[in-house]
Amino acid sequence: MNSTKLLFSLVFTLVSLSVFGQQQPEQPQLQTNQVMLLPGSDSIVGGVFNGEKVNKVYGKVAFRQKETYLYADSVYQYRDRNVLEAYGNVRINNQADTVTMTGNQGTYNGTTRTARMTGNVVMKDPRMTLTTPSLDYDMNTRTAVYTEGGTIVDPENRLQSQRGSYNTATKMFTFQQDVKVFTKDYNITAENMQYNTGSKIVYFQGPTVIKGQQGDLYAEEGTYNTLTKISNFGRNAYILTPEYRLGGDKLYYDQNLGYGFAQQNVTLKSLKDNITVRGQEGRYWRERGVAKVYGNPVMETVMDNDTLYMAADTLVSREAKTPGMASLLLAYHDVRIYKKDLQGKCDSLSYNRTDSVMYMNQKPVLWNDKSQLVGDTIRMHLRNKTIDKLYLFSNAFITSEDTIQNYNQVKGRDMVASFQEGDIRRVDVNGNGESIYFALEGDTVVTGMNKAICSNMVLKFGDNKLKTISFLIQPDASFIPPHELQEDQKRLEGFSWLADLRPTKAAVLGKRPPAEAKPATAAAKTPTEGEAPAKAEKPEKNKK
């Protein structure tokens, strides 16, 4: 007992003896809101202190007001104010909400129906246990408030915060300042948060980080169900795994299925090779290592000190999950590529990120400065994120525009183009070679046209212009002077100049009508998507 309490007790006892002697204390009149002393106390002394009528009750003390009970070793009862001051093993039980509070000291106001507990305070209901240095409880609103730090424990979780409140009717905790939640699978930190002890759902209200063994999550608003392990996040939300960072304005994640769904301003970043994909919707399957973005998605990555952009209807990234498995980026349909020195277009594309090989399928076209490259399939080899070689398979055709808009043309069965520092340097034609090459004087006057048929050829470029053509096996060649040159002789069979299809940066970055949005309810269903379509896998067969 502290000195203040001891002094008060001595003065109270002297005053009580002088005024009342050994008479029994006056009992208060029965009122609806009056706090009543229950039988069974060891002793009771009544008196007047500082003009107030006070009862001091010792030993097995019990008071009641409606459904609220207070127990303690000793209690000062201020009868006119309807207030109790309790000391030693204080316990308040509110049967209306099955809440029990214990502590070293307590004050209960029967008029306002509020209580304050201090010293090793523990509050319990059937769902949780709260420990804190001090606690205020309002029986009218059925709300408990703490401001000196508290810890809440239930069978599934442990929560901590500097300040907080608990509504025993709604079973809702509100936490503020240095909030921490510890679950079996995650550790959560936040500044503001709510938690329902019945549903076990956490509600975020501000920047929140959820760290787990299989990845981290971040959001600035949303919910996390600690039982079902399902998250619904908003505002700058993202999932972070060793392979990916998937974010969006809205984010759904099912930890049990390892499935995430993002909407609005979606960003998918492959952390291993620094590839970023942006779009309007994204999905992630953890076990498969597959992430998918659609809704005008655009990929960007740094190549040769420049940024390469690629757009398509759908972009899929697949990580290698087993030894020998390749990491792939798949794009389909209407694939468009833009880089300052390289542009491209095709229907579907696959990029093997493990060996840096890209396949372009179904009417692929590439443009490099004034050169156009076409084939049934194009395979691109990268080295140090720079184009090293291009393979044009079947119906290969290269067209180069000269300074006066003539078209130098080479066609063949297959071709191999070699690059240096991003510029085309050499092209090898393998089989069924044909060529048309315009001879110029001073880059302004045509002096004639060379036409040749040769199985194999070698073309050499400089400053992104065709410089020479070498014929390797007995060419059938002719030179046609300008005055004999007919218009139909200027084109090889299969020629097509596709400059109007050449992607611009604006077109690749999505300056076109948005795709039709998918229904938001898809996020809550068990996912069955994520596999690449058959046509996107076709390049793997060509590779073999």
**Phi/psi of residue 438, each to 5°?**
-90, 130
Q: What is the pLDDT of residues 455-481, one digit of tens each?
A: 999 988 887 677 888 888 888 999 999
Lowest mean pLDDT across 136-140, 316-320, 429-433: 316-320
Per-residue pLDDT, 5: 44
Task: State the pLDDT confidence band at 216, using cuts at 50, 70 and 90.
Answer: confident
Instruction: Read off the pLDDT of residues 270-315 as tens digits, 9 standing for 90 and up.
Output: 887 788 999 999 999 988 889 999 989 999 988 878 899 999 999 9
Phi/psi at 542 (nearest 5 deg)?
Answer: -65, -35
Residues 402-421 have a mean pLDDT of: 90
**CATH ID of 32-127, from 3.30.365.10, 2.10.109.10, 3.30.470.20, 2.60.450.10:** 2.60.450.10
Tell me the average pLDDT of the chain.
Answer: 84
Q: What's the pTM?
A: 0.72
pLDDT given for residue 364 in this prediction: 96
Assign 3-class secondary structure to 387-440: EEEEEEEEEEEEEEECCCCCEEEEEEEEEEEEEECCEEEEEEEEEEEEEEEEEE
Assess contact for 210 and 193: CB atoms under 8 A: no
pLDDT tens-digit series, residues 133-168: 999 999 999 999 999 999 999 888 899 999 999 998
Task: Give the mean model confidence (pLDDT) for residues 249-263.
Answer: 90
163-184 per-position pLDDT tens digit: 999 998 898 999 998 999 998 8
32-127 with 364-512: one CATH topology? yes
DSSP 8-class letter at 322: S
Q: Provide the CATH topology of domain 364-512.
A: lipopolysaccharide transport protein A fold (2.60.450)
Tokens of 236: 């700058």
pLDDT at 29: 42
pLDDT in tens, 514-544: 433 333 333 333 334 433 333 333 333 333 3
Most confident of 18-22, 374-378, 398-402: 374-378
Instruction: Find residue 460's DSSP bridge partners.
Output: 426, 468
Residue ranges per structural domain of the chain: 32-127, 364-512
Cβ atoms 417, 342 nearer than 8 A: no
Segment 27-38 mean pLDDT: 66
Predicted pLDDT of residue 22: 36
Higher pLDDT, 68 or 24: 68
